[in-house]
Structure 1
Amino acid sequence: MPHPFRLKAIASLFAASALAASARAADTQPLVDVVVISASRVEHTSFDLPAAIDVVGAARIRDGQMRVNASEALAAVPGLVAQNRGNYAQDLQISSRGFGARSAFGVRGVRLVSDGVPASMPDGQGQPSAFNLDMAERIEVLRGPFSAIYGNHSGGVIQLFTRDGQGRPTLDLSLSAGSDSARKADISAQGASGAIGYVIDASRFETDGFRTHSAATRDQGFAKLTMRPADGGKLTLVANSLRQFGTQDPLGVSWATYQRDSRAGEIDATDTATPQRTFAERYDTRKNIEHQQIGMAYDQHFGDDRLHVMIYGGNRRVTQYQPFSKGFQAPATHSGGVVDFDRDFYGADVNWVAVRRLGGGKLTATAGIDYGHSNDDRKGYENFIGNQFGVQGALRRDEQDLLSSLDPYLQAEWQAGPWVLTAGARHTRMTVSVGDRFLVNGNDSGGVEYRHTTPVIGALYKIGTTLNVYASAARGFETPTLNELFYSGVGGGFNFGLRAAESTHVEAGVKASIGDHTRVNTALFQVRTTDELVVDSSSGGRTSYKNAGKTLRQGAELSLDTTLAGGFTGRLALTALRAVYDQGFGNVQAGSRLPGVPNANLFAELAWKDPAGRLGAAVESVANSRIYAEDANSEIPAPGYAIINARLTANEQMGAWRFKQFVRVNNLADRKYVGSLIVGDTNKRYYEAAPGRNWMLGASVAHVF
């Protein structure tokens, strides 16, 4: 892996060549500034916002991809590390400016939203697998201080927006296949009839997995209706479903096992009856997931003012078989190796946007209230009967877990002349309540409440029509998730003494347009955090957490987009991040790097399309510096790596028929590298290998009626 300074040199060379070429690109199409809503909750050009925000368009999400993992599209965003674990039982690993890197599964520390409906629970835990990438129109990624206006999280906000049904009815069928017996079929329909638009999509994805015991099958469904029942009004109904049964969990492995065979699982040396059998195979580690969600949003404009009302609800059922049975130091509090919960959740967000003339400028003010609630019926069972493992055994846990949050918020923006001034505040009140019904091992019932106000302020100054500078600051707030509260130490019960982490964010940036064909965004940031939540112990799928001392994150981000002559375009995203413990604790010394966080990562792409838009090709590079697996930085870190991917795309149209094809090869040099880490694993099985050279291809046909 190149040293971080070499990464910067590569980025500088790329940028210099892009800028030089753009100066000669008089015959190219100019870049168009994108409109976003994530930072201000109203439509706003990203160029004029005092915030770091990037937009991933539909072409990057859908073209040349199987559209299974959002990590492929999010790799092009600076400040964000999106890792595909190659483990569909645990979902993607996404961190923003170092927040969320410790998550043992799913995403925490980064707020997920889909079509305005939260894909994160009130405690901040979210599942990006619920995103429907087949119908995606764009993804907005907000980092830094302005994320605080979304409440309980610290690192950022990822919002997915799907397309609205419009035009004549269209039926689309796509088929794709790839390495490790990966295959996907997707069928969708869209169109509009009068004032009603509709989108319907259904897909199935299957894979044998790159690693031993990592097969998965995923069924997704999606439906969206848009209506305009009144002048200036819009009603949107969205429903989605996810079903994964028998999703195998390959678990992490030790460094020695990874070095021997990156596909292999960790051998269970205690299994004398069946030598060479892995932990994953012995316990048949797997997960069943059923997720359904529906949301309704109504927007009514009264001139420049607007009323927004959104309500949602859903159910999530999970059964997970983990690789342990009784082997904990405190078996009296052991809750078994099978997790089984049935979660009902619902919520609402109501806000009013008022626009007025004030002091020679325009004031846009937003006042709202956000409510979220989840109710878990949670049970735990032994992962064995007799001498057979991987089967549901005796009941060891039975409880009801309630989460609720109520967050009023205010936000205002004033624009006058070259100035854009923004301020806002949100007050979060989150309560956790546990009702223990399994009293054989004692009563773990109890509750805890977290309260915090998160203010944010920002200012942008327009030096000219092509150059803006800005600065912003905020106080962040990150409560423990329900899963982080479940255990205290090894084998202990609920950890109601776990405190929320509080952080102070500051950011300064420059946004520049160089001619009509190149856009550059840069940001410098610093985050100081107290009571950082860190892994206390992690073993066999069970992770407990504790509060550490202070941490410091300092970094820089650069993104560059350019259109070049001859149909070429370029994209560069570069992040440099120093994330360290500013205060030591236990055996962790001050200055130790935060685990799971690279100090540099790079995405660079050179793409081409023919003038008619029928053929396309691209070469891209993704690089990360080394990453530590635990707080003390004493174990072997995951080495840095740089890989190269390539793709070819084609499309044709014959009357009412449209055809698309793609071929993609990832990791062209067949580089062996660690794709993600299980942070703080007590058994030192930290490493999850990424695939070597792998391919995928696909074709689709659409008919417009």
Structure 2
Amino acid sequence: MTVQGGTRVPATARPAGQTRYGATRAVFARTPALTAADMVATIPGVSAIAGNGPRDTAISVRGSDARQTFGLRNLQVLEDGFPMTQPDGLARSDLIDPHAYASLDVVQGPSSTIYGNYAVDGALLFHTRDGADIQGIELGSDFGSYGLFNQYVSAGGAGRWWDLSVFGSDVRGDGFIRNSRFDTSTENVRLRISLSPRDRLVFKVVNNRTDTRLPLRLSLDQFGRNPFQRDCGAAVAAGCGSVSLFRNGAYGATVATTADAADLGRFDRRTIVGMRWEHDLADRATWRTQFAYDERDIDQPTSNTSFVGVYDSYNVSSDLTADARPWGVPVRSFAGLNFNYLDLGSQVYNITPLGGATIGAPTQLVYGHQWNAGARFQEEIRLAARWKLVLGLGGEYSDLGATETILGYTATSATRRFVTANRFYFNLAPEGSLIYTPDQHWTLHTRVGTGYGTPQTSNLFVTPAGVFGNNAQLESQSNVGVDVGAEWHPSAALSLQATLFYEFFRNELVTQSAGVNLQSYTFNAPASEHRGVELGADWHMLPRALPGAHLLLSYTYDNQIYTRYSDVLTGGGTSATFDRAGNAIPGVVPNQLDLRLLYDQPDGRLEGVGGFVEFNFRDAYWLDNANLLRAPSAGLLNLELHYDPPRRMGAWHRLHLFCEIENLANRTYVASAANIADGLGANGAPLGKTALAGRTGSIYAGQPRSAFGGVKVRF
């Protein structure tokens, strides 16, 4: 089910009966498309916020990832059917250069029946371009404000028994916030080989190198005074973020240091290699087996400490899809097994004020593992010509084990404390959906689905005080969601889709900032509810008078509240408990709208000239559990123009030219905000709005008015 054109779904993805929206290359290929945010801008139910780096976009489905400050969580991410999510539930969009992709499908709602652990609110299914689609070489360059320069190449070809696509890019820029310059390169290769009429092999390689400086997150007050952290170089000034670094790198006296002076950043590498064998057992049965190796190396001096680690993971799965007609009833059966394993080792070091992100004494060592083993099946039963019933069940066992060594220092001694966490989780995920297609114009569906997500190992070792320690009591989160949706295609000129969803969470895992110089921590909210509406429209308004005019609309209403959660706050030597039942869950944007009006001249002297005007609105949203402090709303206006010379212009037809102005009105807005922990003052009273507005470690500003251009040539 998709609004924006026909997106293809690989055999390894099975969103039968689920709400699914998508975007094709036609939507995002004519823009600078620097990050995954450009790919999801027009997809209902999906939002994106800035993470830690130029392309580290946190994509949220129905608010699933809105409370995170980096990476992709509560979603399973697959590319050409291969897992991009490691066994601990972390995926990162650093890998994604939109120029490489043909389309994206977003499977929405609890999806653990098929996609397993961490598919709490769905799955992102990326599809790279076919070699047959490229059939040659494409060279491109994008350039623009703040020193942005992206060079990329796509090459591909296809024959009777093979299809190869190769992509590579290098993007660099100075960034629009102080200390945010970057240089990121990505390589992406996919090869499909037909060994015989019944056997196919698919090979996949993704490699990414991220080298980026990283600014500090601000308080709401600092954001109001100095959103882009100007004049925050060697010395700390008003409105500048800063960290307190031990002068000797271990203990004692500290010095306030800016991100620029400390040289904070991320220097990461990620390599994924996979292979899939597809074998047709019979005309109506296909067996698929695949293996993927995923190595993530991190070196992240992002605050007053530096995280260094290697995360190697292995993923193997096998599934069978078969069509049959028992008693004359068409049935499609799916059954699969999966196993994945993560070997993790990380060290945390104090950063010294010497500059160059120089590390000092180690403060934490963690070594351990996580593995998940599961089985799942699904039955699609054609009850009648217009009715389909889908039933499924998935189950998964997870094993998390690690030992943390916490190191402390004084002038006379060094201490060493050990925390061991061994947790075992078993989760089940049943689902059922009913699909009714009364005619060729309508599709109606209702679904009850379930999802689950275990904590990841790192969650078990940061306490609610924001320091390293024992937090191993965390439980798996789970949810049950009900979707009711409809698609209407009254003509080739109009497609509409609407979905109502209501999800009930148990032990929802919520992460929030304890403040600068402290770690973000995770807790279980015993019960919460997510409910909302998703609307999508694709409308060619005047197909005869203006055949090139086209409207895309995406709207999401997302209301999320705690129904059972007591917040324990400490301060001033006292402790108090506050009931948050009925409060909005912070970080979730209640209303989001994207409206894009496009025009492409289909003929005549101006054939190939086109562009769009886009308005994007994000409502104000809460930053804390007490619902005292909000991130302000923002409405952004973007303008794009492009030219694709028609075929009659000969060799010029191989060119594509574009220019775009983003944030045309130059609005200053919040692009990302980590949730803020409430607290008690010295007098034991809860902190008010004014005090919370001074709490740092939360906000990144969004991009001011920016101009970009680009050129692409095909050979």
TM range (shorter): 0.7 to 0.9
Match of 2:699 among 687, 696, 703: 687
Partner residue in 2 for 1:209? 175
Partner residue in 1 for 2:554? 573
Runs of 4+ in 1 over 4 A off after TM superposition: 40-44, 269-273, 275-278, 436-440
Question: Post-superposition shift, 1:388?
Answer: 6.0
| Paired AA for residue 649 in structure 1 | H
Q: Is the 8 A contact 1:104 1:543 kept in 2?
A: no
Alpha-carbon separation, structure 1, partners of 2:56 and 2:700: 13
Partner residue in 1 for 2:598? 607
Match of 1:560 among 537, 548, 559: 537
| 2:372 matches 1:405 | yes
Match of 2:9 among 13, 16, 37: 37
* Distance 1:142-1:43 versus aligned 2 partners, 3 A rule: closer
Alpha-carbon separation, structure 2, partners of 1:524 and 1:399: 43
* Distance 1:516-1:212 versus aligned 2 partners, 3 A rule: same
Question: Post-superposition shift, 1:570?
Answer: 1.1
Question: Post-superposition shift, 1:61?
Answer: 2.8
Question: Post-superposition shift, 1:536?
Answer: 5.9
Partner residue in 1 for 2:464? 489
Partner residue in 2 for 1:549? 526
Match of 2:393 among 412, 425, 429: 425
RMSD in angstroms over aligned alpha carbons?
Answer: 2.5
1:552-604 CA deviation, whole Å, 9 max, x = no partner? 11111111112232111111111111111112412352221111101110111
Partner residue in 1 for 2:299? 319
Partner residue in 2 for 1:504? 480
Partner residue in 2 for 1:650? 643
Q: Is the 8 A contact 2:14 2:114 kept in 1?
A: no
Partner residue in 2 for 1:289? 268
| Paired AA for residue 616 in structure 2 | V
* Aligned pairs for 1:273-672 within 5 A: 279-301=258-280, 302-324=282-304, 337-384=305-352, 390-415=357-382, 416-436=384-404, 440-490=415-465, 491-535=467-511, 537-539=513-515, 540=517, 542-564=519-541, 565=543, 566=546, 567-586=548-567, 587-612=578-603, 614-635=608-629, 637-652=630-645, 653=647, 654-655=650-651, 658-672=654-668
* Aligned pairs for 1:19-98 within 5 A: 34=6, 36-37=8-9, 41=12, 49-65=16-32, 67-85=33-51, 87-88=52-53, 91-98=56-63
Q: Is the 8 A contact 1:502 1:531 kept in 2?
A: yes
Partner residue in 2 for 1:124? 89
* Distance 1:204-1:277 versus aligned 2 partners, 3 A rule: farther
| 2:202 matches 1:236 | yes
Q: Is the 8 A contact 1:132 1:222 kept in 2?
A: no
Aligned length: 650
**SS of equivalent to 2:154:** strand
Q: Is the 8 A contact 2:107 2:122 kept in 1?
A: yes
Q: Is the 8 A contact 1:297 1:310 kept in 2?
A: yes
Partner residue in 1 for 2:687? none
Q: Is the 8 A contact 1:661 1:700 kept in 2?
A: yes
Higher relative contact order (CA 8 A, sep 6+): 1
1:122-148 CA deviation, whole Å, 9 max, x = no partner? 222111222342220110001014454
Question: Post-superposition shift, 1:181?
Answer: 0.9
Question: Post-superposition shift, 1:485?
Answer: 2.2
* Distance 1:32-1:666 versus aligned 2 partners, 3 A rule: closer
Q: Is the 8 A contact 2:190 2:202 kept in 1?
A: yes
Question: Post-superposition shift, 1:621?
Answer: 1.2
Question: Post-superposition shift, 1:225?
Answer: 1.2
1:420-455 CA deviation, whole Å, 9 max, x = no partner? 110111101111111456785222233111110011
Q: Is the 8 A contact 1:569 1:608 kept in 2?
A: yes
**SS of equivalent to 1:72:** helix
Alpha-carbon separation, structure 2, partners of 1:614 and 1:444: 64
**SS of equivalent to 1:532:** strand
1:291-330 CA deviation, whole Å, 9 max, x = no partner? 1111112222221211111111021100111322xxxxxx
* Distance 1:211-1:289 versus aligned 2 partners, 3 A rule: same
**SS of equivalent to 1:549:** strand
| Paired AA for residue 313 in structure 2 | F
Question: Post-superposition shift, 1:201?
Answer: 1.8
Alpha-carbon separation, structure 1, partners of 2:708 and 2:299: 31
Q: Is the 8 A contact 2:57 2:70 kept in 1?
A: yes
Q: Is the 8 A contact 1:368 1:410 kept in 2?
A: yes
| Paired AA for residue 549 in structure 1 | P
* Distance 1:441-1:167 versus aligned 2 partners, 3 A rule: closer
Task: Name whichever of 424-433 and 679-688 sits farther off.
Answer: 679-688
| Paired AA for residue 71 in structure 1 | A
Alpha-carbon separation, structure 1, partners of 2:470 and 2:286: 44
* Distance 1:388-1:571 versus aligned 2 partners, 3 A rule: closer
* Distance 1:43-1:608 versus aligned 2 partners, 3 A rule: farther
Task: Name whichever of 345-354 and 395-404 sits farther off.
Answer: 395-404
Q: Is the 8 A contact 1:89 1:286 kept in 2?
A: no
Partner residue in 2 for 1:11? none
Q: Is the 8 A contact 1:51 1:145 kept in 2?
A: no
Q: TM-score, normalised by structure 1?
A: 0.87
* Distance 1:569-1:269 versus aligned 2 partners, 3 A rule: closer
Partner residue in 2 for 1:178? 144
Identify unmatched segments of 5+ residues in structure 2: 233-239, 248-253, 408-414, 568-577, 679-694
Alpha-carbon separation, structure 1, partners of 2:503 and 2:180: 37
Alpha-carbon separation, structure 1, partners of 2:134 and 2:670: 47
Task: Name whichever of 570-579 and 462-471 sits farther off.
Answer: 462-471
Alpha-carbon separation, structure 1, partners of 2:186 and 2:356: 30
Q: Is the 8 A contact 1:147 1:157 kept in 2?
A: no
| 2:664 matches 1:699 | no
Question: Post-superposition shift, 1:258?
Answer: 1.1
Alpha-carbon separation, structure 2, partners of 1:529 and 1:282: 43
Q: TM-score, normalised by structure 2?
A: 0.86
Identify unmatched segments of 5+ residues in structure 1: 1-30, 325-336
Question: Post-superposition shift, 1:269?
Answer: 8.9
1:132-170 CA deviation, whole Å, 9 max, x = no partner? 422201100010144542122211111101122127851
1:180-218 CA deviation, whole Å, 9 max, x = no partner? 111111122211244222222221101111111111110
Alpha-carbon separation, structure 1, partners of 2:174 and 2:492: 47
| 2:225 matches 1:260 | yes
* Distance 1:167-1:427 versus aligned 2 partners, 3 A rule: closer
Q: Is the 8 A contact 2:87 2:313 kept in 1?
A: no
**SS of equivalent to 1:229:** strand
